[in-house]
Amino acid sequence: MLEIFKEIIKVINKDVKLPRGSFLFIVLTVVLISSFMLFMPYNLLNCLGLGELRTKRLALWGLFFVGSVSSLIAYAFIRFIPGKITIMYGKRYLNNLTDEEKSILKMYIYWGKKTQTFSMSDGVVNGLELKNIIYRASSLSECYSYFPYNIQPWAWEYLNKHKYLLD
């Protein structure tokens, strides 16, 4: 069993790029195997020939279980929590828009288009981009300084449900 983990460490040390989702797959596999070894009745493990492996390496199985569950929790926080916080603050910001910001966002909602073209030097547009309400959709400009900006999907849905915020 330790040989498998030594091979995984060798792969990581060689800076080999694992396919997307491999980390999650590996951690879930370690959680399942370690929880199987820790929580299955000893009689069942003995029938499978794994009873002695459990008793000799119980601390190691516990370490694998705690480490992999901790990794899953950290992965969930890193992957999902920042996006939720951004949306929460974005919705709060949408409830306190200035007239200039409202006029820009009205173009998206009332015209029913998710892409609009604005000058890169427009401070109001840059403010909305900084607050993650819109984003520059392309690095290619039209007429040197006009770029396409898309509205964030969460902002599109929120403003379509709450059109009164743009009045």
What secondary structure does DSSP assign to 46-77, as a single string?
HHTT-HHHHHHTHHHHHHHHHHHHHHHHHHHH
12-16, 42-46, 81-85, 104-108: segment of lowest average pLDDT: 12-16
Name the phi and psi angles at 122, rounded to 5. Answer: -75, 115
Q: What pLDDT is attached to residue 4? A: 64
Mean pLDDT of the chain: 85
DSSP E strands in the chain: the ranges are 115-119, 134-136, 146-151
Q: Give the residue-averaged pLDDT of 141-166.
A: 90
Instruction: State the DSSP H helix or E strand holding residue 166, giving kind and residue range, or none if neither.
Output: none
Q: Give the residue-averaged pLDDT of 87-112.
A: 91
Kindly give, in sequence order, each residue whose CB lies less than 8 Å from that of residue 2, ignoring residues fewer than 6 positions away: none
pLDDT at 1 over 60: no
- With pLDDT > 70 as the criterion, what percentage of the chain qualifies? 87
**pTM for this model (two decimals):** 0.59
Q: What is the pLDDT of residues 20-77, one digit of tens each?
A: 667 778 888 888 889 888 888 888 888 888 888 888 888 888 898 999 999 888 888 8
**Measuring CA to CA, which residue among 86, 83, 87 is closest to residue 159?**
87
Half-sphere exposure of 9 (CA within 13 A, CB side): 5
**Measuring CA to CA, which residue among 78, 57, 59 is closest to residue 67?**
59
Q: What is the pLDDT of residues 85-96, one digit of tens each?
A: 888 888 999 999
CATH number for the region 97-166 comes to: 1.10.10
